[in-house]
Structure 1
Amino acid sequence: MKRLIFTADDLGLAPETNEAIERAHREGVLTAASLMVGEAGFEEGVRVARANPGLAVGLHLTLTDGVPVLPAAQIPGLTQKNGRFRDDMAALGLLLALSPVARAELAAEVAAQVERFMATGLGCDHVNAHKHYHLHPLIAAALMQAAAGAGVRCIRLPWEPQALVRAVDPASPRTAEWALGPWCRTLRRRALNWNLMAPDRVVGLAWSGHFGTARLRGVLPRLPDGVTELYFHPAVAGGFPGSAAGYDYTGELAALCDPAVGEALAGVERGGYAAMLLPKPLPPLS
Structure 2
Amino acid sequence: MNARRLILTADDLGLAPATNEGIERAHREGVLTAASLMVGEAGFEEGVRVARANPALAIGLHLTLTDGVPVLPAARIPSLVGKDGRFRDDMAALGLLLALSREARAELHAEVAAQLARFADTGLRCDHVNAHKHYHLHPHIAAALMQAAAGAGIPCIRLPQEDPALIRRADPASPQLPYAILNRWCGVLRRRATNWALRAPDRVVGYAWSGAFTPARLRAVLPLLPGGVTELYFHPATQGGFPGSAPGYRYAEELAALTDPAVRDLLEGTPRGGYRAMLGVAPSADRGL
Distance 1:152 1:215 in 2: 31
Q: Which residue of 2 aligns with 1:150?
A: 152
Distance 2:206 2:176 in 1: 12
Q: Which residue of 2 aligns with 1:251?
A: 253
The answer for unaligned runs of 5 or more in structure 1 is none
Q: Which residue of 1 aligns with 2:30?
A: 28
Structure 1 pair 102/250, CA: closer, same or farther in 2 (3 Å)?
same
- Aligned counterpart in structure 1 of residue 175 of structure 2, from 173, 176, 182: 173
Distance 1:279 1:191 in 2: 15
Q: Tell whether 2:232 aligns with 1:230.
A: yes
Deviations 1:128-147 (A, max 9, x none): 00000000000000000111
Distance 1:13 1:59 in 2: 12
Q: Secondary structure at the match of 2:218?
A: helix
Where does 1:86-101 land on structure 2 (aligned, <5 Å)?
Answer: 86-101=88-103
Deviations 1:119-167 (A, max 9, x none): 1000000000000000000000000011111110000000111001111
Paired letter, 1:269: P
Distance 2:282 2:177 in 1: 34
Q: State the shift of 1:278 in Å.
A: 2.2
Where does 1:1-286 land on structure 2 (aligned, <5 Å)?
Answer: 1-280=3-282
Paired letter, 1:91: A
CA-atom RMSD in angstroms:
0.9
Deviations 1:4-48 (A, max 9, x none): 000000000000000000000000000000000000000000000
**Aligned residue pair count:** 282
Distance 2:18 2:113 in 1: 28
Structure 1 pair 105/281, CA: closer, same or farther in 2 (3 Å)?
closer
Q: Which residue of 1 aligns with 2:287?
A: none
Distance 2:137 2:237 in 1: 26
Paired letter, 2:32: L
Runs of 4+ in 1 over 2 A off after TM superposition: 278-282
Q: Percent identity?
A: 76
Paired letter, 1:21: I
Structure 1 pair 165/192, CA: closer, same or farther in 2 (3 Å)?
same
Distance 1:240 1:112 in 2: 26
Q: Secondary structure at the match of 1:199?
A: coil
Q: TM-score, normalization: structure 1? A: 0.97
Q: Secondary structure at the match of 2:62?
A: strand
Deviations 1:37-72 (A, max 9, x none): 000000000000000000000000000000000001
Distance 1:270 1:150 in 2: 25
Distance 1:182 1:242 in 2: 31
Distance 1:99 1:49 in 2: 37
Distance 2:222 2:251 in 1: 20
The answer for unaligned runs of 5 or more in structure 2 is 285-289
Distance 2:177 2:52 in 1: 36
Q: TM-score, normalization: structure 2? A: 0.96
Q: Does structure 1 retain, via aligned residues, the 8 Å contact 2:155–2:281?
A: no
Q: State the shift of 1:280 in Å.
A: 4.7
Q: State the shift of 1:183 in Å.
A: 0.8
Q: Does structure 1 retain, via aligned residues, the 8 Å contact 2:136–2:145?
A: yes
Deviations 1:189-237 (A, max 9, x none): 1101111000000000000000010000000000000000000000001
Q: State the shift of 1:180 in Å.
A: 1.1
Distance 2:243 2:183 in 1: 33
